[in-house]
Amino acid sequence: MGLSDEETEEIKQKLISHIESTFPEEQKSSARQQIELMDSEQLENFLKKNQIIKDDGNSKNECVFCSIASDKIRSCKIDENEKAIAVLDINPISKGHSLVIPREHTDNAQKEVLALAKKVSENIKKKLKPKKVEISKSELFGHEIINLLPVYDNEDFNSKRNSAKMEELEIVKEELEKKKSREKISKPKTKKINEFLWLPKRIP
């Protein structure tokens, strides 16, 4: 792609604008500084890594969250309902870090979207046993999403992100889908062997 200085500056300003209008107050300074310090190559890698732009150029102008919701971008889906899907974050802060994405391009999540977020949050608590699950709404490119962050130690939304392979996410997905099965303790079957001894009657 190769961003020019002008393009780099324009994209930075757009990203910073989104940060200012959508990020919680305590996250703004850190996120803004991170964007400002990037050179053109780092910015381009950031955009590709977060799938905001694609190398083939076919979906460059399409909202990344719409692409995930319509399965155009591969994701690790862990739940869904009529109005939203829940996927594991590809750059998670902690195990089970998830996004709930409305199927429609909207900046105002409907109650069904919030209901799915609550359901997924409860399942994460039950299966992965974090101390708690932090829930945060954010909006990027006009599409509101809900972040679900399991907290095991002192993680928050400013903590370091880690790149996860799809295979690793699939393992987490399996843990979340695992049903509690009561193990039946099977006692060894003891065969009662009834031996009948047949003796002829003696006729005196």
Tell me the per-residue pLDDT of 136-168, one tens digit each, with 9 for 90 and over.
988 776 788 899 999 999 999 889 888 888 899
User: Greater confidence, 35 or 57?
Assistant: 35
Q: What is the pLDDT of residues 4-54, one digit of tens each?
A: 777 778 777 777 766 765 677 777 777 777 888 888 888 777 777 665 554
- Look at residue 40 and tell me if it is in a domain: yes
Residues 76 and 119 in one domain: yes
- Residue owning tokens 């994405």: 101
pLDDT of residue 140: 72
**Total-model pTM:** 0.61
The answer on pLDDT for 170 being more than 90 is: yes
DSSP codes joined into one string, 118-184: HHHHHHHHHHH--SEEEEEEEEETTEEEEEEEEESSS--TTSPP----HHHHHHHHHHHHPPP-PPP
CATH number of the CATH domain containing 72: 3.30.428.10
Decide if 185 is inside a domain: no
Confidence (pLDDT) at 57: 46
Which residues form the domain of 106?
65-177
pLDDT of residue 199: 52
Counting the structural domains of the chain, the total is: 2
Do both 42 and 70 map to the same domain? no
pLDDT at residue 118 greater than cutoff 60: yes
In a domain, 13, yes or no: yes
Note the pLDDT of residue 88. Answer: 94
